[in-house]
Chains A and B, each alone.
Chain A
Amino acid sequence: MNAGVVRTLAGKLGELALTLFLASVVIFSAVLLTPGDPVAALAGGIRPTPELIEAIRAQHHLDDPVWQQYLHWVGGVLTGDLGTSFVYKTDVAALIAPRIGVTVLLVLYTAVLIAIFGIGSGVVAATRGPRADRAVLIGTSIGMAMPTFVVAILLIWVFARVLGWFPVYGAGEGFLDSLYHLTLPAISLAVLYIAFFSRITRGAVVGQLHAEHVDTARVRGIPRSQIFRRHVFLNASPQILAVSGVTVAGLFATSAIAEQAFGIGGLGSLLTEAAARKDLPVVQVISLLLVVVFVVLNAVADIAIAVIDPDSAKPRRNA
C-alpha cells in the first residue's frame, strides 16, 4: 500500500464522519418537517384523548426544541440505542435486523448481474464489430426505457405466472431458496443499470482502444487478449468503478420497488411504509444506514481506483 492510498483512506474516514453528521442533521429535520403528526402513529389502536396526546408528546419529547430532540436521538444512536418504533413499539434494531439480510442479498445479486451483463455487453459492443455494437445499443436503449416496476410486472407475468419457473412473491428460506426467490426481483432491479453500465463500459473501452499506449503495445506484438486485459480493460476500469459505488448504494434505496412488487419484507419496503406512517425512529435509522452504505461504498470504489491508478489519488492536474 503506498502513501497515496493511505492518504486516500484517511481522507475518506474524515469525509465519512462529516457526511454522516450532515446527513443526520438533514434526515432529522426533513422527517420532522413533513406533514402529519407522529402522534397519529403513536396513538395507533387507541382512542386519543387530548390528555393522552399530550402525554404521548411529552413521553417522546415531541414538544422539545428541535435541536434537543436531535441531540437526544443522536445520543441514543451513538450509544447503540436506535430507538423504539412508533408503530410496532419494538426496538428499531429488532425490526431492521431480520430484514437487512434479504435486502443485502438482493442488492449483491443485482450487482453481480449488472457486473456480468452490463460490463460484459459493453465490452462486446466495443470490441466485436459494428453489428454487435448496434445490437447492444438497441438492447440498452430498451433497457433504459423500462422502469423497474414495469420490468417486475412483465417478469412476474412471463416467468412466474405463464411459465411457472419462479415464485411470485416472498424471499424464501435458506441461501439457495433465497437466491431462487430473489432472481426475478434482482433482474427487475438490474435491467436499467445493466443498460447504463453497458454504455459506460463501451465508452471507456473504446476510449482506451484508441489510446497511444495501446497502439504501442500492438506495434510491439503483444497478443490481443493480453493487450485487452492489461492495457485496455484495466485502464478503463476506474471509470466503471467510479459509478459502481453510487450504483450499489442507490440499489439499497431502489430495492423498495422490487420488494414491494414481489412481496419481500426488506429494508426498502420497511422504509417506504415507515415514511408513510410517520414512524420517525425507523425512517431516521434506515436513512442513516443508507447514507453510511453510500459513503462506505464510494470510499471503497475510490480506494480501488487509487490502487489501480495511483495517479488519481494525487491532487488533480489537468484531467
Chain B
Amino acid sequence: MRTTRITATVAGAVAALMFLSGCTARDDASPNTAEPVDSSKLVSSLPAATGEVDEVTWALVEGEPSTLDPAGDYSLAIPNLCENLLQISPDFTVEPGVATSAEWVDPVTFVIDLRDDVAFWDGTPLTADDVAFSLERNRVETSAWFPAFVLVDTIEVTGDLQVTVHFTAPDSTFRDAIAGAAGAVLSKAFVEQAGDTFGTSTGGVMCTGPYVFDEWTPGTEIVTSANPDYWGGAPLVGTLTYTFITDGATLANALLAGEVDGAFNVPPASRDNFAGSDSGRLVLGPSTASYSFGPTNSTGAGADPKIRQALSLAIDREQFIATVLHGLGEPQSTFTPPFAWAGMEAADQYTAAYDELAAPELDLEQAKQLVEESGVDTATPLVVAIPAGAKELSQTAAIIQAAGAQIGLTIEIDERQPTDFSQIFFDPAARESIDFVATVGYLDAPGVLGYAQQFLLPAELGGFFNWSGYSNDEVTADLQTARTTLDPAASADAFIAAQQIFAPDQLQVTLASAYQTTFLQNGLTGVTTSVAVYSSPWALHLGSE
C-alpha cells in the first residue's frame, strides 16, 4: 500500500519499537556494541525449511493486537492469516498470489483475475464477490487504506473469478497497494455475519492464509495452525502460537532462554546479548523503517525550513545510529527509504536520483548561520513531542535537544501518553503547543509516493500530515503526474523532479533508517526477515532446517 499508516498505527508502530534495555543480560560493554553493519550482509529471508515442526511460539513485541481485522491493526499475526491479493516477496518485489494477474487493460481499467483453487478455512471457495466486498470495505473515507482508493470510480464483479476496478484517472500506485493490506481478502459471508465482533477475540477472522485462526485467549496468546488446504502448499509448522511480550528485557530473556522461538523487532539494545547466544541468532534485514521528526504547525520556528535544515546539520547521524540503534541502521538522505523502491521496475532510476541527494552532514557553523538567517526568536523554546515510554524516541528527543543547544536553540521535550500522543495526528488543537513530533515509521508495501503525498500535497489532495502548510505548485503537479502515469520510467521521472525540489526543505528531518531485526532459535529457518513481514505470510516457509 501507499500510505505510511501513521494515523492508524502511530501508537502501535511506536509501541513496537518501545524497547527497554536488556538490563538483566550481561553488561560487559564490549567496545563493539555499536559497530556498524555491512549493509551488503543484510538478509531478506532465511532458506526455506525442509523439516516439520509441531509447535512454534512467536513473541509479538508490539503487544496484543486490538483486533485481527487487517483493516484495524497492523499486528504481525495478521499476514499469516489473511492474504492480500498480490504477494510481497522478501526483496519487496510484487508477485502473483490469490490473484494470478492484476493488470491495467487500459489507462483507467484494472482487471484482477483470481486463482480457481483458493478456499477460505471453512472450505467455501473464494469468489470475486468476496474480493469486491473486501476492496469496498477499505474504500471508505475512514479506512486507513483509503488513500489507495482515491482514484477508484467503481469496483465491479465481472466474472466468478474476476473483478474489474474502474478509475477516474490512471493510478500508478494501485497495483503495489493491493499487495499490502489494502488488498486483504476476507470472507464476505463471515464478515457480514460477525458484524462488530469481526476480528475480536470472540469473533475471530475468516481468511485464506497459510495459517488458520484457532483461538485467542485475551492477555495470553493467539493460537493458529497450519492450513492443510493452502493453495501454496501447507506450512511445515503444525501450531504457530503468538504470545505478547512488550517489555524488551523480558523478551530478550525469553528468547535467550529458549522459551520463545522467535520474534521480530527485537530490541537493538540487546544486540550484544543476542550476538553471544549459542541457542539462536539475530538476523538483520532490509527495512523501510526510519526515525524522523517533522513540523506540526504552519506558524512558529518548526515551519521554517531553515530551522529544520539547521537542526539536521547539528545532528551527528553516526552518533545517532550508535546510540539509539546500537549500530543497527544507516544514514538516510530523505524521508523516502531506498528499500521502498528496491523491487520496482524503475529501481535504478530512483537509486541514481537518491545517490545525487545531499547526504546528511554535520556542520555546526552553517547551522548557526541558518538559525541567524531565519530570524526566529531563539528565546522561545521549541517543543518536540514523543510518546511516553518509548526508549528509542526518548533518546532521539535528547539528541535533538543537545543539537539545538549547540546552535542556540532551546528544545523542550513533551512526553505524552499513547492516546494523548496519537491525538496529535488527527486533532489540530493537540498540535498547537508543540513544534515537532518525533516518530518511527515504515512503509509496509513498495512505492515511493506514500510519504511525499502525505507531507507535501495540500490537505484536500491527500496531504494528511502537511501541517506546516508546505505548498509548491511544481511539486504538487509532479507528484500528481507521478501518481497518474502508468509508465514506470515516466512516473519515476516526475517523482524525481519533485524530489529535487522538496528534499532540501526537509519536511521530515530524517535521522536514520533502522534495519529489520529478527531473532530465531537455531534449528528453525524459513522466515522472512525484511520489512515485508508486515504484509506477507512470513511464516509460510517456517520449519526446521
Contacts and interface: CB of A to CB of B under 8 A. Distances in A.
A94 B202 contact: yes
A161 B257 contact: yes
A265 B67 contact: no
Contacts of A98: 217-220
B244 interface: yes
Given A160-B257, A277-B418, A45 B73 contact: yes
B78 to A, nearest CB: 11
A169 interface: yes
Contacts of A276: 388-389, 417-419
Nearest to B73: A45
A217 B419 CA distance: 65
Interface stretch (A123-131, A197-205, A255-263): A255-263
Interface stretch (B309-317, B323-331, B422-430): B422-430
B406 interface: no
B141 A41 contact: no
B218 A262 contact: no
Nearest to A260: B247
Looking at A153, A161, A164, which has the most chain B CB atoms within 10 Å of its CB?
A: A161
B253 A161 contact: yes
Contact of A40 (B69, B197, B422): B422
A292 B217 CA distance: 25
Contact of B243 (A260, A263, A277): A263
Interface in A71-118: 87-91, 94-95, 98-99
Interface residues of B, number: 56
Nearest to A94: B202
B420 A156 contact: no
Nearest to B464: A47
Contacts of A44: 8, 11-12, 66, 72-73, 422
A262 B250 contact: yes
Contacts of B243: 169-170, 263
Contacts of B12: 44
A168 B259 contact: yes
A232 B444 CA distance: 70
A187 B410 CA distance: 46
A35 B414 CA distance: 13
A301 interface: no
A46 interface: yes
B484 interface: no
Interface string B241-271: 0011101011101101101100000000000
27 contacts: A35-B416, A37-B419, A40-B11, A40-B423, A41-B419, A44-B12, A44-B72, A45-B8, A46-B144, A47-B144, A52-B142, A53-B426, A88-B201, A90-B200, A94-B218, A95-B201, A98-B220, A160-B257, A168-B259, A169-B253, A169-B260, A171-B220, A261-B249, A263-B245, A263-B251, A265-B244, A276-B417
Rank and list the top 5 A-B pairs by shortest CB-CB distance, nearest first: A265-B219, A45-B72, A36-B420, A278-B419, A40-B419
Given A36-B420, A88-B66, 15 more contacts: A35-B416, A36-B416, A40-B11, A48-B142, A89-B199, A89-B200, A90-B202, A90-B218, A95-B218, A98-B218, A153-B249, A156-B24, A161-B25, A273-B63, A278-B417
Interface of B: 7-9, 11-12, 23-25, 63-64, 66-67, 69, 71-73, 141-144, 146, 196-197, 199-202, 217-220, 243-245, 247, 249-251, 253-254, 256-257, 259-260, 388-389, 416-420, 422-423, 426-427, 464
Interface of A: 35-41, 43-49, 52-53, 87-91, 94-95, 98-99, 153, 156-157, 160-161, 164, 167-171, 260-263, 265-266, 269-270, 273, 276-278
